[in-house]
Every structure is written in structure tokens, then in C-alpha cells.
Structure 1
């Protein structure tokens, strides 16, 4: 069945408070080999994220606005978000906010779409109270697809066909290769074929489903037949 974020996320998360200083944040990123850390308020809610890029942008901005190569005062914009970040010293001033977060009960597929939409590589994961529960990365999402073929085959045969659909598995064959499931054989109703294919697509680790099933009777509405 579908995998949720809570099934693949990392639960031990390196995070910082809003008053964490630039140097301490940089040290955490280097020491723990992570590229970003969530920023938490006093109640454990995520208020933003500080990434390697945020710290580097701060240094780049500091040089631009305050360094030796800065433009003359009359042409230098000393106000605005970019200038404020160049002066940033603590997490609340350096972070990207608001943070893009995800609920721990969201599916892995939905989390992947959220990452793609916002162009991020990881998401802080929130529990039912809106507090930090973990973090999920693209790498974590890919874990779903390294499941052994034999485990996928067993789940399709036992959980989908037998326990969920009460099928006679002597009439249906299940083959799995590199995550691609091929269903072949014959079922009584066409509707059962459609349900079996849909449920197989939801099994963890399934990359694709090849439907080679036939049926004895077409019980679908006339408008759906083709």
C-alpha cells in the first residue's frame, strides 16, 4: 500500500534556534555533513530553513554591500531584504522563510511533487501538532524503489489478490522484474481486473504495472467500455 513520509523520513534532525549565530550554524552543517537545518521557535515550530546557500549568499551580500568593492554610497542600496540578509548574524535573519514543510502522513509521491514544485531537496516533516518530527530528502523518497522483487510479488499475490479481492490465484499469474509487475491470466469480471491493476500500482516499490489480464464478463457501465 502507499508509503507515507513517516515511513521513510529521518527522525533524528539537526536543528537550530532562531538565535543561533552564523558561525555555529556553519559548524553544524560541516560537522554533520548536512546542507541545511530547520530553524525552530521556542515551541518547536519550524519558522524557516538555513541552508549552505543562505550562508554563502550572506557572505556574498556582505562583500557587495560592506566590502572593499562596494559601490559608492549614493548608488548603494542599503535598505531592503538583500541588504538585511547581508547584515544577518543569527538564524532568524539568515533563514529562508516561510519554510516549505510536509505532514508526516502525506504520501511519498505527494512529497516528491512538493519538492519538485518548490525546487528543494529536502522538507522538514511536521507532526499532528505542527511541530518538527523529522526531515525527508530526495534520497529518502528513493528508498521505496529498492524493495526486492520477491517482496513485491508476495504482497501483490497475498495482500492484493487474496486478502483484498478474494481472488483465485490459480487463474492469475504475477511476475515482477526490476519493480515492473506483469499481471496475466483471467478473472471473472472486468471490474475486478481494473481494481487489481489499480491496487497493484499502489504497492510499495512498484515502478509500473503491465496489464495482460482477460475477463469472462464485462460488468462495467456501457459508457466506460472500449
Structure 2
């Protein structure tokens, strides 16, 4: 249905590699390498997400393998030192886990990833049970949408309701996700609204809006200048001559 935003459940991966809290360090490293992922969710026995273990959580063990940390390091990097001594996923994980609901919009998921600087999010239901995982690349799927589909949605959901009776037909063209809207409308106050709504359509890369107001008729209202550009048929002859 046009105008209905996609949700995380539309793009998430439903088969997820996960760990138990008691998973040993070496098994975590093997899973990350085997499945080529940067992080894995940690689950309890009811498949509720407890936390997340990332490749970065494993690195302190190698970093602090040699030598004894000085006092400054002990004070400023206590969390990393604790991870250096960890043996299981439950000891290594970051908790509570940062998650997203399956019914969240892609924009909501993207904002969460950007705000916390993460590359993927476990997807959970109302009770916190793992249902899938969504990554940054999953969120980019909306930009694979066909130009024709985007154009149809903009015409139907935005242009037609906002400008139901334009002085002349309005044009909507989309190329490589960039929407161009042309023509004349009766109420130019609605043009910024059209731009904002169009930019929010999934798959839109940018908006090029060339909507203008209705034509002026100097013969009917001499106090208003004609708005035709380029010295066309409706241009003021006196102005055209003075510009030469």
C-alpha cells in the first residue's frame, strides 16, 4: 500500500546466530569469525536478549596480555581491564542490550543506530524475546525502490491531496531517486509542505521542486506583474524592450 512506511520486520534477518551467557571466550571468537559478524546477541534460556558481545569486547584480552597496567590505566580503563579477565559471554557482554521492536519504522531504527554508533540491532517482541537482527545495510534496502513506484506514491499521496485543482497539470518525475515536481498551483503556501512530505517518502534521495503560483494577468490586474519567465508570450513588452 502506498504511503505505508516499511518496518524493521520487513527487512530484518530472521535467522540469528546467538550465544548463551555461559558461552566460553573461544567459542565467541569462533562464532564471530565463522559468521563474519561484528557482534552477537546473548540470550537467556527463554531467548530473551540479555546483552550483546562485539568483537571489540574481545580485544582487551589481547591488548593487556603482556605486562601489568599502570595506575592511570587501571583508573581510566577499568571496564576494559574487567573484560580482559572475562571468560564467558555473560562477563563480556554489554548490558542491557540496545534493541529495536519489529514494528519500529526504518527511520526509528536508523536514528537509534546513528545515536549510539552501532552497526546492528537485535529485534525483539513485547517480552524481549529475540525475533531477528537488523543491520545498517538492511535499512538501505528502501533506496533500491524503483523510480516509477516512488513517482506513483508522490502523485497519489502528496500532490493530488495537496493540489486537487491546479491551474494546469502538475508533473512528477523521478530519476535515480531524485523527485522533480513541476507546474503551477493555486496556493504556494503548501509548496514547502509538499517538499517535506516528498522527502519523507521511502526511497527518495532528494527533491527538486519547481512549483510556482498561478499566472498573473496584467490586463485584469495592472498592479500585479506577470510572472512568466524568459520574455514569453505573457511577458511585459516594455520590460522586454528595456532589457535589450
Q: TM-score if structure 2 supplies the norm length? A: 0.73
Q: Distance in 1 between matches of 2:179 and 2:80?
A: 51
Q: Select the structure of larger CA radius of gyration.
A: 2
Q: What are the superposed Cα offsets for residues 129-151 of structure 1, whole Å, 9 maximum, x if unpaired?
A: 32222211111111111222122
Asked whether the 8 Å contact 1:149–1:177 carries over to 2, the reply is yes
Find the counterpart in structure 2 of residue 103 from structure 1: 101
Tell me by how many angstroms 1:189 deviates.
3.3
1:207 and 2:205 are equivalent in the alignment: yes
Find the counterpart in structure 2 of residue 60 from structure 1: 63
Tell me by how many angstroms 1:166 deviates.
7.9
Q: Secondary structure at the match of 2:211?
A: strand
Q: Tell me which of 46, 51, 55 is aligned to 2:54.
A: 51
Report which stretch shifted further, 81-90 or 28-37.
Answer: 81-90
What is the 5 A alignment of 1:76-225? 80-162=78-160, 167=164, 171-190=169-188, 192-216=190-214
Tell me by how many angstroms 1:3 deviates.
3.0
Higher RCO structure, 1 or 2 (CA under 8 Å, sep 6+)? 1
Asked whether the 8 Å contact 1:58–1:94 carries over to 2, the reply is no
Root-mean-square deviation over aligned CA pairs: 3.0
Q: What are the superposed Cα offsets for residues 151-202 of structure 1, whole Å, 9 maximum, x if unpaired?
A: 211222234444x558368711001122110111123334554443333222
Q: Distance in 2 between matches of 1:191 and 1:133?
A: 45
Q: Distance in 2 between matches of 1:32 and 1:52?
A: 12
The structure carrying a bigger strand percent of its residues is: 1
Q: Distance in 1 between matches of 2:33 and 2:50?
A: 22
Q: Which runs of 5+ in 2 are unaligned?
A: 215-244
Find the counterpart in structure 2 of residue 33 from structure 1: 36
Q: Distance in 1 between matches of 2:35 and 2:71?
A: 43
Count of paired positions: 209
Find the counterpart in structure 2 of residue 222 from structure 1: none
Find the counterpart in structure 2 of residue 6 from structure 1: 9
Q: Which runs of 5+ in 1 are unaligned?
A: 64-68, 217-226
Find the counterpart in structure 1 of residue 68 from structure 2: 71
Tell me by how many angstroms 1:9 deviates.
1.7
